[in-house]
Amino acid sequence: MKISIGILAYNEERFIESTVASLMRQTVFADAETEKEIILVANGCIDRTAAVADAALKAALGAPNLRAEVLELAEPGKANAWNVFIHEASAKDTDYFVLLDADIEFERDDALSRLIQHLEEKPEIEIAPDQPVKKFGSKGFFAVLIRAMQKTGSDGDTALSGQLYAARANTLRSIVLPRGLVVEDGFLRAMTLTGSFTHPEERARICRAPAVRHFYAPYESLSGVYRYERRQAAGTAINRLVYREIQRWRKDGLDPAAEIARRNEQDPGWLEGVIAKGVAEGDAIPRNYVFRRLRRRDNWSLKRLHKLPLIAAATLFDLVVAIDATKELRNRSAGVRWDTIRETA
């Protein structure tokens, strides 16, 4: 068996050493029979992420049957980094991919083994995410309120967080991400569940691995949460516009992966054109995104009735975010570059 592990990093100098140390404690690295590679893709970094990661990975090369390398890309963007890892840098004969962000912490040392085992035991599953867990640090009433609001969103076994997941190599290699995509995990989820829009959703294709979790630091200021939610809302709308393009391509007999790869190469700004067209036609943030908290069934259980005022407040917050995100879409269609959340939060 061969496993390719990709770490996609953007200005993570503060976290990358501890992430690599946490990764190397995974039991999969003690298995001499499993061939492994770690490829860290530093994309558009202006700090010492690559140098720190290179030193940390070199110190870990005592593990059996392991190779590691650091790639530096001038262009920032997780979608482009993902494409480079999946389609260019990783071993062509790999069986499974594991993708993780550079600032997460594993709960248990057999997390990666459990993700792969989940795929091995259930051939119908193509992507196995874990359970992301927010690790809050702030205290006080306002911090508690922000935490409570964040707990009223959608979740489930078919939810896909780009922070950590394992996948079959042939599944990910059948997908190419548009350069400049904002919510790449949502796009990957849709393409996987629908076979790149060849059939209705088959939700069994993505299933969370049981008893596997990781921790991450969420945004705890109102401004940070607001910017994050605005970006997610705009990104969801962008994905929706791309899905429409893919459905048109399908009618014309075009393969989405090949068409996206062609456009990425020949016209790197093609996504802005899709956004501009959508904005001109009046497309905005979809209603099901704005009202997702109201649509979540367990928010209406007897146990959670006391949270209805909070859910209503969170939905109003989402409505304000959606209005602002629509404005951001207009800005992006006009060629305005979006800063990253970490820079602006």
Residue pair 166/215 in contact (Cβ under 8 Å)? The answer is no
Alpha-carbon span 12 to 103, nearest angstrom: 7
The label of the residue with tokens 């600032």 reads: 103
Q: Domains of the chain: which residue ranges? A: 2-344
Q: What is the pLDDT of residues 41-94, one digit of tens each?
A: 999 999 999 999 999 999 878 889 999 999 999 999 999 999 999 999 999 999
Closest to 131 (Cα-Cα) out of 153, 158, 152: 158
Closest to 229 (Cα-Cα) out of 312, 292, 308: 292
The confidence score (pLDDT) of residue 343 equals: 42
The confidence score (pLDDT) of residue 330 equals: 78
The long-range contacts involving 274-280, CB below 8 angstroms and separated by at least 24 positions, are: 274/238, 274/241, 274/242, 274/245, 275/238, 275/241, 275/329, 275/332, 275/333, 276/333, 276/334, 277/241, 278/237, 278/241, 278/244, 278/329, 278/333, 279/329, 279/330, 279/333, 280/333
Q: How confident is the model at residue 317 (pLDDT cuts 50, 70, 90)?
A: confident
Q: What is the pTM of this model?
A: 0.86
- On average, the pLDDT of the chain sits at 87
CA quadruple 125, 216, 133, 240: dihedral, nearest 10 = -50
Q: What is the pLDDT of residues 180-235, one digit of tens each?
A: 999 999 999 999 999 999 999 999 999 999 999 999 888 777 788 888 888 888 88
Specify the CATH architecture of the domain 2-344: Alpha-Beta Complex (3.90)
Buried-exposed string 261-270: b where 16+ CB fall within 10 A, e elsewhere = bebbeeeeeb
Percent of the chain with pLDDT over 90: 62
